[in-house]
Structure 1
Amino acid sequence: MPLLARSVQTPLHIDVRRGAVADLGAILADGRISAGGDVAVVVGPGQGEKIAELIGPSLGSADVFTVAGATLDAANDLGAKLRSRSYDAVVGIGGGKTVDVAKYAAMRRGLPMVSVATALANDGIASPVASLVTDGIKGSYGVHIPIAVIVDLDFVDAGPERHNRAGIGDVISNISALADWDLARRVRGEPVDGLAASLARAAAEAIINHPGDMGDDDFLTVLAEGLISSGLAMAVCGSSRPASGGCHEIMHAIDTLYPATASHGELAGLGALFCTWLRGDQRRFAQMSACLDRHNLPRVPADVGLTGEQFAEAVAFAPRTRPDRYTILEHLDLSPEEIRDRLADYVDAIRDLGV
Structure 2
Amino acid sequence: MPLLGRTVITPLTIEVRRGAVADLGSLLADRRISAGGDVAVVVGPGQGEKILELCRPSLGAADVFTVVGGTIDAANQLGDQLRRRQYDAVVGIGGGKTIDTAKYAATRYGIPMVTVATSLANDGIASPTASLDHEGGKGSYGVHIPIAVMVDLDFVESGPDSQTQAGIGDAVSNLSACADWELAHQVRGEPIDGLAVTLARTGAEALINHPGKITDDGFLTTLAEALILGGIASSVCGSTRPASGGDHEISHAIDRLYPGTGSHGEQVGLGALFCTFLRGEPDRFGQLARCLHRHGLATTPADLGLTDDQFVEAVQFAPSTRPDRYTILEHLAMSPTETRERLADYAGAIRDHCG
The alpha carbon displacement at 1:96 in A equals 0.5
1:53 aligns with 2:81: no
The alpha carbon displacement at 1:353 in A equals 2.1
Question: Paired residue for 2:145?
Answer: 145
Aligned residue for 1:34, secondary structure, equals: coil
What is the aligned length? 355
1:134 aligns with 2:134: yes
1:258 aligns with 2:224: no
More deviation in 345-354 or 309-318?
A: 345-354
In structure 1, distance between residues paired with 2:43 and 2:337: 46
Aligned residue for 2:10, secondary structure, equals: coil
In structure 2, distance between residues paired with 1:187 and 1:193: 16
In structure 2, distance between residues paired with 1:9 and 1:220: 25
In structure 2, distance between residues paired with 1:285 and 1:136: 36
- What does the per-residue CA deviation read over 1:150-203, in whole Å, with 9 as the maximum and x for residues that have no partner? 000000011001111211111111111011001000110001100000001101
The alpha carbon displacement at 1:215 in A equals 1.2
In structure 2, distance between residues paired with 1:299 and 1:76: 38
The alpha carbon displacement at 1:128 in A equals 0.2
- What does the per-residue CA deviation read over 1:62-88, in whole Å, with 9 as the maximum and x for residues that have no partner? 111111130111100100010121100
Question: Paired residue for 2:340?
Answer: 340
In structure 2, distance between residues paired with 1:118 and 1:288: 26
Question: Paired residue for 1:14?
Answer: 14
Asked if structure 1 preserves the Cα contact closer than 8 Å seen for 2:293 and 2:354, the reply is no
In structure 1, distance between residues paired with 2:271 and 2:166: 13
Aligned residue for 2:22, secondary structure, equals: coil
Aligned residue for 2:57, secondary structure, equals: coil
Q: Structure 1: any 5+ residue segments left out of the alignment?
A: none
What percentage of aligned pairs have identical amino acids? 72
Asked if structure 1 preserves the Cα contact closer than 8 Å seen for 2:182 and 2:192, the reply is yes
Question: Paired residue for 1:159?
Answer: 159
Asked if structure 1 preserves the Cα contact closer than 8 Å seen for 2:293 and 2:299, the reply is yes
Question: Paired residue for 1:181?
Answer: 181
Question: Paired residue for 1:223?
Answer: 223
Question: Paired residue for 2:125?
Answer: 125
Question: Paired residue for 2:297?
Answer: 297
Aligned residue for 2:58, secondary structure, equals: coil
In structure 1, distance between residues paired with 2:347 and 2:269: 15
In structure 2, distance between residues paired with 1:194 and 1:353: 31
1:236 aligns with 2:250: no
Aligned residue for 2:51, secondary structure, equals: helix
Asked if structure 1 preserves the Cα contact closer than 8 Å seen for 2:290 and 2:354, the reply is no
Question: Paired residue for 2:88?
Answer: 88
More deviation in 52-61 or 345-354?
A: 345-354
- What does the per-residue CA deviation read over 1:2-41, in whole Å, with 9 as the maximum and x for residues that have no partner? 2210000000010100000011000111111100000001
Aligned residue for 1:215, secondary structure, equals: coil
In structure 1, distance between residues paired with 2:306 and 2:136: 21
Q: Structure 2: any 5+ residue segments left out of the alignment?
A: none
Question: Paired residue for 1:75?
Answer: 75
Counterparts of residues 174-213 of structure 1 (less than 5 Å)? 174-213=174-213
In structure 2, distance between residues paired with 1:282 and 1:30: 48
- What does the per-residue CA deviation read over 1:312-354, in whole Å, with 9 as the maximum and x for residues that have no partner? 1111111111110000000001111211111121112111224
Aligned residue for 1:163, secondary structure, equals: helix
Aligned residue for 1:57, secondary structure, equals: helix
Counterparts of residues 306-321 of structure 1 (less than 5 Å)? 306-321=306-321
For 2:246, give the aligned amino acid: G
In structure 2, distance between residues paired with 1:122 and 1:77: 24
In structure 1, distance between residues paired with 2:59 and 2:257: 43
The alpha carbon displacement at 1:113 in A equals 0.3
For 2:28, give the aligned amino acid: L
Q: TM-score, normalised by structure 1?
A: 0.99
For 1:128, give the aligned amino acid: P
- Residues 290, 38 of structure 1: CA spacing in aligned structure 2 closer, same or farther, 3 A cutoff? same
Aligned residue for 2:90, secondary structure, equals: strand
Question: Paired residue for 2:23?
Answer: 23
For 1:257, give the aligned amino acid: L
For 1:32, give the aligned amino acid: R
After TM superposition, which residue ranges in structure 1, 4 or more long, deviate above 4 angstroms?
none
For 2:196, give the aligned amino acid: A
For 1:156, give the aligned amino acid: V
Question: Paired residue for 1:65?
Answer: 65
